[in-house]
Amino acid sequence: MDPETRGQEIIKVTPLQQMLASCTGAILTSLIVTPLDVVKIRLQAQNNPLPKGKCFVYSNGLMDHLCVCEEGGNKLWYKKPGNFQGTLDAFLKIIRNEGIKSLWSGLPPTLVMAVPATVIYFTCYDQLSALLRSKLGENETYIPIVAGIVARFGAVTVISPLELIRTKMQSKKFSYTELHRFVSKKVSEDGWISLWRGWAPTVLRDVPFSGSHSVAQAGVQWHNHGSL
């Protein structure tokens, strides 16, 4: 085998390796971005107090969460008092007064949604891309587009029931018993399909984004192939 052929060999990655890689990426992204969003929300709450019943968007770098301000006053992490002069000052005072763990407030619901969504999407995307390339050829530029759209459909479909449960938990504090009772009642009254209520708007929001991202990726691949 000549050096050029050896250099063009593609390293095969197993689905398990892809799942572990995407899971690690999702966790690292959430761990890195969550403190920044905690500080941002605390600064916003200091300048514009969050009254009961109002909502704010909590972003973790992978997906956005709509959080509802409930009763609890300063017990809630985003309503704790502070006299922050800026971002760095907020970091230092939160760590000194509340402990470094406070910078990762709200991380559990982030991981519950972000990790499975990321794992499903990227694993399906990679596997489908490899399958289409083996059937249609390596140079088909539309393969990333098709793979991205189909993978996003799959991820949204699997995660949709979790999204419904997460939204319910954020709107009110639920114990696991109350949550189980809520899901059981919803299924008995409206059927299993009710757990996927809101699927269509989520697809309309996420699939175009994945498609446009895949178009850009296909353009880069076409450019790189054309320059060889």
Q: What is the pLDDT averaged over residues 70-91?
A: 71
Tally of domains within the chain: 2
Tell whether 206 is covered by a domain. yes
- Residue 75 pLDDT class (50, 70, 90 cuts): low
Based on the fold, state whether residues 64 and 162 are members of the same structural domain: no
Asked if residue 66 lies in contact with residue 57, where contact means CB atoms within 8 angstroms, the answer is yes
Based on the fold, state whether residues 183 and 129 are members of the same structural domain: yes
Q: What is the pLDDT of residues 106-149, one digit of tens each?
A: 777 667 777 888 888 889 988 888 888 888 877 677 888 888 88
Q: Among 106, 140, 170, identify where a domain stops.
A: 106
Range of the domain at 149: 108-226
Based on the fold, state whether residues 84 and 178 are members of the same structural domain: no
Asked if residue 93 lies in contact with residue 196, where contact means CB atoms within 8 angstroms, the answer is no
d(CA 141, CA 220): 9
Q: Among 76, 106, 136, identify where a domain stops.
A: 106
Would you say how long the chain is, in residues? 228
Based on the fold, state whether residues 134 and 210 are members of the same structural domain: yes
pLDDT at position 73 is 46
Tell whether 32 is covered by a domain. yes
Q: Among 71, 106, 141, identify where a domain stops.
A: 106
- Whether the model pTM is above 0.75: no
